[in-house]
Amino acid sequence: MYLVHARLRAPVGRGAPPDLAELVRAHAAEADALEHVSVHRTAPDEVTVGVFSLAESLLEAEGRAAGLVGRAVAAEPELDGFAVLSVGATLVPGPWWGFE
């Protein structure tokens, strides 16, 4: 399973709808290999959507997540004016990298 983050910016004066995870999930097709969607508000006008994917590769998971989030933003009236800032997996340093 892969976790892909999609960063969204809300229009000025608006925040993310409380049911954002459901709005995104509603646009998933079987080919998206979607397992789960989570939402984390990162700033007053920004939100990170976590897309958990069962895709065969990271590249495939990132592409499917970008398509899914893009479809939701384009189709949902509640997301009118939202911008997709970035979509990609976040690398987390492991203990073998020498960071403490």
CATH code (residue 26) = 3.30.70.100
Token code pair at residue 68? 């899914």
pLDDT band, very low/low/confident/very high, at 44 (cuts 50, 70, 90): confident
Q: Is residue 99 in some structural domain?
A: no
Q: Is residue 68 in some structural domain?
A: yes
57-81 mean pLDDT: 97
Q: How far is CA 18 from CA 1, 38, 47, 79, in A?
A: 26, 11, 11, 11
Q: Is residue 53 in some structural domain?
A: yes
DSSP 3-state of 22: helix
Exposure string of 2-26, with b = 16+ CB inside 10 Å and e = fewer, is bbbbbbbebeeeeebbeebbebbbe
Q: Is residue 37 in some structural domain?
A: yes
Q: Is residue 98 in some structural domain?
A: no
Q: What's the predicted TM-score (pTM) here?
A: 0.88
Residues written for the chain: 100
> What is the domain range of residue 10?
2-90
Q: Is residue 96 in some structural domain?
A: no
pLDDT band, very low/low/confident/very high, at 28 (cuts 50, 70, 90): very high
Q: Is residue 97 in some structural domain?
A: no
Q: What is the CA radius of gyration of the chain?
A: 14
pLDDT band, very low/low/confident/very high, at 90 (cuts 50, 70, 90): confident
Task: Work out how many domains the chain is built from and give that number.
Answer: 1
Q: Is residue 32 in some structural domain?
A: yes
Is the pLDDT score of 94 beyond 90?
no
